[in-house]
Structure 1
Amino acid sequence: MGNTCARKPLTDSIPQKRNGSQPENSELRSMTVESENLLNSNAKISKDDFKIIKVIGRGTFGKVFMVKLKENNMVYAMKVLKKEQVASRNLRVKTKAERDILEKIKNPYIVDLHYAFQTEDKLYFVMDFLNGGELDLKPENIILDSDGNLKITDFGLSKQGLDKQNDKSKTYSFCGTPEYLAPEIITGEGHDKASDWWSLGALIYEMLSGRPPHYQKNRKQMMADIVEKRIEMKPYFSVEAKSLLSGLLERDPSKRLGSGEEDALQIKRHPFFAKIDFQKLYDKQIAPPFKPTVSGPEDTRNIDKMFLDETAKDTPAVSNLSPDAKKKNHFDEFTYQGNNGGVEGLKFKKK
């Protein structure tokens, strides 16, 4: 996604006096037109600013579209959630947390939020359009861009404000994909950031072997195995891989690799990652080992045809809520425009 230049502040556009004289009439007219344009640009962004191109995904609460910003033809992914369904499943707080997390996190390997806005019935997240395809694992939440770089998406179940050294800040919610759940989530004893390092271990195990460490179709038994069963280290795992997995898949969260004060630094220093220069990786100075076959930023060949064949239309939400109930369903502080959103002069306040 490219950057665009922001307009100059209004004060910068006012002609200066010439030798103490007032601006000429032509300059005043120009100044007035520019002022009116800037004032008109304070309009709130909405779905009308985007052209829907194709459906690229579908979830429980709505669809994901490939869209173009009409102002400059920039391509984005627009996730649309139905407010009534979010509310009916008590996910209002989690959805707002996802919105806030996406605004705060700026990382080259995490999807960027460019805009967020709402209507009476729906919520809209406008993010990077990534067309390299998803990994062939659970990571439909890990997507490749056109150059082969990974981007993490979907923070709908994320928590904020957890202090890894403070038991009082643990959370007790039971959520997530079963194959990747840490034991302490399953037992309900409370969990913090250390549970994420277990999930990372389960993901790496799957990438090395083809499936998560305790995977089986019987989910109840699978979760019992996660809590009780010894993890099998495959004979073809390297010594470094076995050491890393043993550290990440440690059942005691207080002893788990990455659970201490050093957090991720402890994992980065592990011999398994010895050949990786993490600063160069962050700066995207390391060429990805795989580059997806795409012709350009609008190529959708790596997106499932079951979505692409759907009618590309944001249909009106069918709601049984009363007008008063809809007003209560309003999300405060939801509207957002990123610094590099791409619309010159399009400005609005959080609402």
Structure 2
Amino acid sequence: MAAVVHKLLHHGHGHGHHSSSDAPTSSHDRQNSDMERALENEKRGLAHWEDHKRPLSPGEVCANPEDKPVGYSSNVFTQDTFELVKTLGTGTFARVWLVRFKNPKLEERDQVFALKILRKVDVIRLKQVEHVRNERNVLASVAGHPFITTMIASFQDHDSLYMLLDYCPGGEVFSYLRRARRFNEPTSQFYAAEIVLILEYLHEREGVAYRDLKPENILIDAEGHLKLVDFGFAKKVENRETYTLCGTPEYLAPEVIRNTGHGTAVDWWAFGILVYEFLVGQPPFWDQNPMKIYEQIVEGRVRFPSAMSPDARDLISGLCTVDTSKRLGNIKGGAGAVKSHAWFRNIDWEALYNRKVNGPIVPHLRGPADTRNFDEYEPEPENREVYSQEMSEKWGEFFKDF
């Protein structure tokens, strides 16, 4: 449990069941009551975080996860702590649930979270062990950033790995973009600016390449701000090159397709594609056949609609530059050069980081647990492969810091 939360909590106010003084307590009872007390403490720390949810400054976000109120590894939470309400999303080896505490107290009734459950068997079978560890570690290191999904805590049991995340009831930016066909310039600038702050933090503070920037991975929270989710491809690259082919065809940078080694610059390319898609309604490179998309990307000729403003064209051209040594965001000045671009001249970066600027689209919600912005999903399949003792002996070590 994070040290900060310990400081916030008054110990000794646990709600463990104390036995009457004359009845001897068994060690089992004592253990149970200790666990209950620890759980109450952890829940109280969480309530405190929820009440004061303010953006941590970049320096605070950078702190060791064990010293932050969020992003820690919990040995108190279990799946049994939570009631699974509804599936919010599924992937090849994970399912995300809307959850709340089981038997909530009055003050916990409105507290809901997203719980990402990853089955160890599937993670191993699909060779995702490294990706999952990267995801957990990156989320722990960035927890508390105003525009990145907050991993509150991670934990595990014999079969599964869990990440408890804040719930973004607005759903994907993608669905709003599809409904609106395209965003106007002020809306596009607002969302783009929040993404610049995310990339600046990931690249310059953490040395992390996100590698999967696209509208489907950007959610809208209750106040209309963005939250970047799904860090499965994120990787701490610092100044090294990496070679894994990953991402979504329309958003891949030329150096990923050419497999010449890539770093954080891939995110600035994808960011250019994203700004184009916000303003136009579709990405600049598109074809039914992915190979044709790749050819267009490597050639790197962006065609702009005549209605697009000169500043927007200039920004996108600077970002979607095939030569990484000339790519905006990757040249001298880094993210600062992007922030000082004319297209962002109306952005107050300080106010934006502190969430003092209102989001252009604020979702209509019936309450904290509203799920109307998420699709319906099939129930989980029955009779799934079991995580055996043999697997546990071979792989347990890889998950130990979860």
How high is the TM-score relative to the length of structure 1?
Answer: 0.80
Deviates more, 1:320-329 or 1:195-204: 320-329
Letter in 1 for 2:366: S
2:394 matched residue in structure 1: 328
Which residue is 1:57 aligned to? 89
Select which of 141, 149, 154 maps to 2:217. Answer: 141
Q: CA separation of 1:37/1:83 partners in 2, compared to 1, >3 Å: closer, same or farther? A: closer
Q: Distance in 2 between matches of 1:239 and 1:119?
A: 54
Paired position in structure 2 for 1:7: 9
CA distance in 2, matches of 1:317, 1:126: 25
Instruction: Report the 3-state secondary structure (helix = DSSP H, G, I; strand = E; otherwise coil) of the residue aligned with 1:86.
Output: helix
Alpha-carbon separation, structure 1, partners of 2:153 and 2:35: 20
Structure 1: which amino acid aligns with 2:128? L
> In structure 2, how many angstroms separate the alpha carbons of the residues matched to 1:111 and 1:148?
14
CA deviation map 1:160-200 (0-9, x unaligned): 1322xxxxx10011000011000000000011111110000
Is 1:233 paired with 2:309? no
Give me the whole-angstrom Cα distance separating, in 2, the residues matched to 1:50 and 1:5.
25
Alignment counterpart, residue 162 of structure 1, candidates 213, 238, 255 = 238
Residue in structure 2 matched with residue 339 of structure 1 by the alignment: none
* Runs of 5+ consecutive residues of structure 2 not aligned to the other structure: 15-20, 22-29, 39-74, 178-213
| Partner secondary structure for residue 147 of structure 2 | coil
Contact 1:179 1:214 in 2 (8 A): yes
What's the offset of the Cα at 1:334?
A: 3.5
Specify every segment of 5 or more residues in structure 1 that has no aligned partner in the other structure, as ranges.
14-25, 27-33, 164-168, 336-351
Say whether residues 1:114 and 2:114 are aligned partners: no
The one of the two structures with greater contact order (alpha-carbon pairs below 8 A, sep at least 6) is 1
TM-superposed deviation, 1:315: 7.4
CA deviation string 1:190-221 (max 9, x = no partner): 11111110000000111111111111111011
Which residue pairs with 2:348 in the alignment? Answer: 277
* Aligned mates of 2:268, 2:158 — CA distance in 1: 39
Tell me the equivalent position of 1:47. Answer: 79
Whether the aligned pair in 2 keeps the contact of 1:99 and 1:334 (CA below 8 Å) is no
- In the TM superposition, what are the counterparts of 1:187-336 in structure 2 within 5 Å? 187-304=258-375, 306-307=376-377, 310-311=378-379, 318-319=384-385, 322-330=388-396, 331-335=398-402
Higher helix share: 2
Residue 328 of structure 1 aligns with an amino acid whose one-letter code is K
Alignment check: 8 A CA contact 2:237 2:264 kept = no
Structure-1 separation of matches of 2:37 and 2:262? 46
% identity of equivalent residues: 36
Give the alignment of 1:121-136 within 5 angstroms: 121-136=159-174
Give, in whole Å, the separation in 1 of the partners of 2:329 and 2:126: 33
- The answer to whether the 8 A contact 2:120-2:387 is kept is no
Give the Cα separation in 2 of the matches to 1:100 and 1:245. Answer: 31
* TM-aligned CA deviation for residue 322 of structure 1: 3.7
Q: Distance in 2 between matches of 1:6 and 1:229?
A: 53
Partner of 1:16: none
Say if 1:36 and 1:181 are closer, same or farther in 2 by CA, change over 3 A.
Answer: closer
Q: Per the alignment, do residues 226 and 286 of structure 1 end up closer, same or farther by CA in structure 2, a change over 3 Å counting?
A: same
Cα 1:4–1:50 shift into 2, 3 Å: farther
1:4, distance to aligned residue in structure 2 (A): 11
Instruction: Measure how far apart 1:292 and its partner are.
Output: 1.0
| Partner deviation per Cα, 1:14-60 (whole Å, 9 max, x = no partner) | xxxxxxxxxxxx9xxxxxxx999667545632111111111111111
Q: TM-score, normalised by structure 2?
A: 0.70
Matched-pair contact (CA < 8 Å) for 1:120–1:327 = no
> How many angstroms apart in 2 are the aligned matches of 1:41 and 1:198?
49
Moved more, 230-239 or 133-142: 133-142
Which of residues 33, 44, 66 in structure 1 aligns to 2:98? 66
Q: Alpha-carbon deviation of 1:319?
A: 2.2
Distance, in Å, in 2 between the alignment partners of 1:175 and 1:239 is 32
8 Å Cα contact 2:300-2:321 kept in structure 1:
no
SS in 1 for 2:216: coil
Asked if 2 retains the 8 angstrom alpha-carbon contact of 1:118 and 1:334, the reply is no
Whether the 8 Å contact between 1:116 and 1:334 is mirrored in structure 2 is no
Equivalent position of 2:197 in the other structure: none
CA RMSD of aligned residues (A): 2.7
